[in-house]
Structure 1
């Protein structure tokens, strides 16, 4: 897949323009978005992602188009799981609802920048060392197991991590417990101090680094094209702010989402290991020769990913509905 520097530049400018538009149209004036507003703009950004995928198909073919869609769906699913953590962070800092948009948008832009760095490093490593796929695969399988073990304890795990970040930040920066509108820094008695809004943003920034450690190896298991990896991440993150407000109440009902994501990560991990064996150059494995193992196609990958997400979502909604019915008091 050949992508010229001009196409890269145009793509980055369009993505940047969308984020700038999002800021001036929705975030600049603090407000709590309505359900209708969140639903409309979530649909718009998902529509843009689909249109871009169709453009990829028309220019570079269905194979690369399929890889993009598989990557986009995976990254979007991982992003939804990240919303659980965002809810915890917002709750921890008691961020007023009308100011949450600003924190989310800046945090999402930070996430995209950091993922861009990870993508560049990952692409360079893959092009130089094919055995990196072994590391990516093993890491995803380990992450999948850890995700199952931590399922149901996300708040406890994240709370411990956040408290360490907060303590570290407060050691180096003067802080206040009071909000001053949507300001990140304010003045108290003539002295500049950091507001809880900036602390929340710092925590989200550090958390985004950890998210990238999972998401980048996962998408490199679906496509080795840096352009597709970057655009799938960008479109998955775009609209995440609106999705946060749209499905905030629904998140509590997706009780099996972590299990579904662990299955997807493990599946992609196995796919990466198989690919690594197929491209093997390590001398202590089969004498450095390639191993004829079956490789998982893009169509199968996309089918498994969508299938697992559909099953876990439906199962989650049925489970929470039944639990709600069981807890409904019976009146005589």
Structure 2
């Protein structure tokens, strides 16, 4: 059992909040188009921060917990790349000006951290009280994996998001972005800008992504501190990663397939753990080092295979994947459970 003091929690949360504050200040104070060089520098910085934390954590608490952290971080990082597909779709659908994309992404990450912190606390409590939750989490991940694989060549319809549709119906929305504001006044009346709709779309998608990512990371560790830090450090680099790889995402044609395999593997791991604890201790469990190896291998194979595929067939294009079939000709098909990947 990992024993994390209140001081360690406070320092960790303080570090994450400080990094977020820097992003928010940069987004608000100097709206601009983020270039390749700037995005690369920030991406490297966040990866080094995550690795540095992992090294400190391993030295402080031992190799077993360190392995769990790095496995959790890799899972969340790979799922966050899937998030990027949907962020690109949202930015394109709502025609967000480049100078405001930084702000949108930063607020989206803040919302994601808040929602995932809530899910982590809830998930850790449920797992501590009811061991059969491992079975339910495992079945959820396997179901998600199967559906994601079945519809791996589709993209979600952001306009079909129930939250966005409701906002369009009940709220007055301006035609332009009005300098990146969320609201403005027109003829003395308070109205919302399209940027508000974008934040609603990203916020609702963040919520649904948490339903998949939290059970997945609980598959490699039961420690709430590791789950939180793995999520936080993976999400902190998401804003910079968006600007770095948004033009390259179309080449990752097998990413949804790889994520489906990882989610299914973690689902099986959770079910075996439940069976080991509740049914028979002779039921084998999948050790975390093996989980880390499988995750790294799947991501490596997916990346190389995708690059080979797109080199041989330049017309091949990656998709975010979805939880169920979507007919773009139907305006009211209902929103996808993951809506985003």
Q: Which residue of structure 2 lines up, in the alignment, with residue 301 of structure 1?
A: 291
CA shift, 1:158, in A, is 3.2
Q: Which residue of structure 1 lines up, in the alignment, with residue 116 of structure 2?
A: 115
What is the DSSP-based 3-state SS (H/G/I as helix, E as strand, rest coil) of the residue aligned with 2:184? strand
Q: Which residue of structure 1 lines up, in the alignment, with residue 193 of structure 2?
A: 195
Q: Which residue of structure 1 lines up, in the alignment, with residue 307 of structure 2?
A: 317
Runs of at least 5 residues in structure 2 that lack an aligned partner in the other structure: 317-341
Q: Which residue of structure 1 lines up, in the alignment, with residue 46 of structure 2?
A: 45
Tell whether 2:260 aligns with 1:262: yes
Matched ranges for 1:61-100 at <5 A: 61-100=62-101
CA shift, 1:160, in A, is 5.6
Q: TM-score, normalised by structure 2?
A: 0.90
What is the DSSP-based 3-state SS (H/G/I as helix, E as strand, rest coil) of the residue aligned with 1:178? coil
Kept in 2: contact 1:133–1:275 (CA 8 A): yes
Matched ranges for 1:76-225 at <5 A: 76-154=77-155, 157-159=156-158, 161-162=160-161, 164-225=162-223
CA shift, 1:69, in A, is 0.1
Kept in 1: contact 2:27–2:106 (CA 8 A): no
Kept in 1: contact 2:177–2:193 (CA 8 A): yes
Runs of at least 5 residues in structure 1 that lack an aligned partner in the other structure: 281-288, 327-332
In 1: Cα distance, 2:300 partner to 2:229 partner: 24
Query: Which structure shows the bigger proportion of residues in helix conformation?
Result: 1
What is the DSSP-based 3-state SS (H/G/I as helix, E as strand, rest coil) of the residue aligned with 2:190? strand
In 1: Cα distance, 2:29 partner to 2:309 partner: 40
Across the aligned residues of Structure 1 and Structure 2, the Cα RMSD in angstroms comes to 1.3
Kept in 1: contact 2:158–2:201 (CA 8 A): no
Tell whether 2:41 aligns with 1:2: no
What is the DSSP-based 3-state SS (H/G/I as helix, E as strand, rest coil) of the residue aligned with 2:298? helix
Kept in 1: contact 2:75–2:295 (CA 8 A): yes
Tell whether 2:54 aligns with 1:56: no
CA shift, 1:245, in A, is 0.6
What is the DSSP-based 3-state SS (H/G/I as helix, E as strand, rest coil) of the residue aligned with 1:223? coil
